[in-house]
């Protein structure tokens, strides 16, 4: 773009770009006179984009449409309460909710699209502002909500006492939109203890009962996520006082709103047969008869002779936390100089549940997206997806993993 008569190129500019410009100041704020340059940096615009003018309005006055749009977005952010005036500094504004540790939380009630693809969208928002009136039928909600830890992570979280209310409130709108037989899967911590005691908290049991009694959800299974690469812990009770064993698993709680219509299909999660079982099938199956467990289990001659495409997955998930997507996210976040999420689940977890509980083009959601692994797994499996996250920086880092997806559009230049 040059001067006032150059050929106009397509410029992608959104509300999120302006919020991004304020976030980059780490709470110091941006003066009104500097906002144009700051937004240009956030959105990858050049000086010509800012300075090119076009006839606007009935008078055909020459104005910069880019600067005009930035001012309009700035006023919208003020109206939403996303940005606030910096006390004692005239004309300087900043993001209204600095969560500390380099994180910026969305203001209550506001919601901004962070990035999208042909199949899904990631929204910078508190989940209630998106799902409280949601109507599109949901097939699956898979999420790892904040744990009720004594020492909170950077993104915060509820106390043990608050946890059932916290989760029920977050899921209420999702449950209303859940299609018959749809599922909700929660990954929650096992390492939560009673105060000053090595006894484990019963918060999970209280949560399960609350989800059943208050939201009408039926518990289908408790699937342990066994992770032998977890650091030794719990530190105080296992490593210091030696009264507990070193922890190696977390709970994945699977619920549905209608067990008789549940949409799971274990043929979508078949695993490869062992070499020994493949040979058994080739040899024509068992060559003996046997009875075990007082008749509960019987082996007949030629049992297991039929060749099958795979074996059924067990209800124990053994996965390490190391993940190529995590490494890619860390590299992107480090290059951008933004806060790295402190508790990322590997993409393998949502990948399994999405294959097991949904079909192509079903809608999968995550109200506590973090680095958007649920969205990433759904995208790769051809499912529609929608995720929400209240920390801007986590979505900023996650966006880089979607850049090669069909229809990708980012409302901030993250790379």
| Phi-psi sector, 198: left (phi>0), alpha (psi -120 to 50), beta | alpha
Mean pLDDT over 90-110 rounds to 75
Q: Which residues pair with 253 in a beta bridge?
A: 186, 222
- The span from the CA of 414 to the CA of 332, in Å, is 8
Token pair of 366 as six digits: 């995550």
Q: What is the mean pLDDT of the chain?
A: 86
pLDDT digits (tens, 9 = 90+) for 234-276: 889 999 999 999 999 999 999 999 999 999 999 999 999 888 8
Instruction: For the chain, give the percent of residues with pLDDT over 90.
Output: 50
Q: Quote the CA–CA distance of 41 and 36 in Å, as a whole number.
A: 9
List, in order, residues 6 or more apart from 33 with CB less than 8 Å away.
Answer: 91
Q: Which of 2-11, 158-167, 177-186, 221-230 has the lowest mean pLDDT?
A: 2-11
Contact between residue 107 and residue 151 where contact means Cβ atoms under 8 Å apart: no
Model confidence at 284, pLDDT cuts 50, 70, 90, reads confident
Q: How confident is the model at residue 91 (pLDDT cuts 50, 70, 90)?
A: confident
Give dist(CA 131, CA 86) in Å, integer: 32
User: Are 373 and 75 spatial neighbours (Cβ–Cβ below 8 Å)?
Assistant: no
Confidence band for 155, pLDDT divided at 50, 70 and 90: low
To the nearest 10°, the Cα dihedral for 188, 334, 17, 4?
A: -160
CA-based angle 161:167:169, to the nearest 5? 105
* Selected residue with higher pLDDT from 299 and 267: 267
Task: Indicate the helix (H) or strand (E) that contains 55.
Answer: strand 54-56
Residue with tokens 């946890």: 163
| pTM check: above 0.85 | no
β-partners of residue 222 are 253
Cβ neighbours around 388 below 10 Å, total? 27
- 64 Cβ neighbours under 8 A, 6+ residues apart: 50, 51, 52, 53, 54
Please, which pLDDT band fits residue 411 given cuts at 50, 70 and 90? Answer: low
Q: Which two tokens stand for residue 320?
A: 């390490």
The tens digit of pLDDT for each residue in 106-121 reads 877 788 889 999 999 9
Q: In this model, does residue 143 exceed pLDDT 70? A: yes
Burial 187-198 (b: 16+ CB within 10 A, else e): bbbbbbbeeeee
Sheet arrangement for strand 92-95: 30-31, 92-95, 83-85
Per-residue DSSP letter, 217: P
Domains of the chain: 15-96 (1.10.10), 99-270+312-410 (3.40.50.150), 272-311 (no CATH)
- Residue 309, Cβ neighbours under 10 Å: how many? 8
Partners of 104 in the β-ladder:
98
């Amino acid at each position: 773009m040059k001067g006032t008569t150059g050929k106009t190129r397509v410029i992608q500019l959104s509300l999120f770009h302006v919020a991004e410009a304020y976030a980059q100041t780490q709470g110091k704020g941006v003066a009104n006179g500097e906002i144009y340059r700051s937004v240009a940096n956030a959105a990858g615009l050049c000086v010509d984009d800012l300075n090119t003018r076009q006839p606007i309005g009935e008078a055909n006055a020459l104005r910069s449409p880019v600067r005009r749009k930035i001012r309009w977005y700035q006023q919208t952010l003020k109206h939403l309460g996303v940005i606030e005036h910096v006390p004692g500094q005239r004309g300087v504004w900043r993001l209204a909710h600095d969560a500390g540790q380099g994180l910026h939380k969305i203001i209550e009630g506001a919601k901004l699209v962070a990035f999208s693809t042909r199949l899904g969208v990631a929204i910078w928002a508190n989940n209630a502002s998106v799902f409280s009136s949601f109507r599109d039928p949901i097939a699956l909600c898979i999420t790892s909500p904040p744990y009720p830890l004594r020492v909170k992570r950077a993104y915060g979280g509820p106390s043990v006492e608050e946890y059932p209310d916290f989760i029920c409130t977050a899921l209420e709108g999702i449950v209303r939109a859940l299609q018959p037989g749809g599922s909700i899967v929660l990954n929650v911590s096992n390492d939560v203890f009673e105060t000053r005691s090595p006894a484990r908290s019963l918060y999970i049991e209280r949560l399960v009962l609350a989800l059943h009694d208050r939201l009408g959800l039926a518990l289908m299974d408790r699937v342990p996520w066994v992770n032998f690469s977890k650091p030794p812990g719990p530190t105080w009770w296992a490593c210091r006082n030696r009264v507990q064993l070193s922890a190696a698993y977390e709970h994945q709680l699977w619920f549905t709103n209608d067990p008789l219509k549940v949409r799971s299909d274990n043929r979508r999660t078949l695993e490869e047969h062992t070499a020994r079982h493949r040979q058994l099938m080739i040899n024509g199956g068992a060559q003996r008869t046997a009875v075990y467990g007082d008749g509960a289990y019987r082996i007949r001659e030629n049992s297991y002779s039929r060749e099958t495409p795979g074996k059924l997955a067990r209800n124990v998930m053994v996965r390490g936390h190391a993940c190529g997507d995590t490494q890619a996210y860390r590299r992107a976040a480090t290059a951008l100089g933004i806060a790295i999420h402190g508790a990322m689940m590997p993409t393998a977890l949502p990948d399994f549940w999405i294959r097991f509980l949904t079909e192509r083009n079903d809608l999968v959601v995550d109200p506590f997206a973090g680095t958007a692994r649920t969205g990433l797994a759904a995208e790769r499996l051809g499912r529609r997806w929608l995720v929400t996250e209240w920390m801007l920086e986590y979505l900023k880092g996650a966006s880089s993993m979607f850049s090669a997806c069909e229809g990708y559009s980012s409302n901030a230049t993250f790379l």
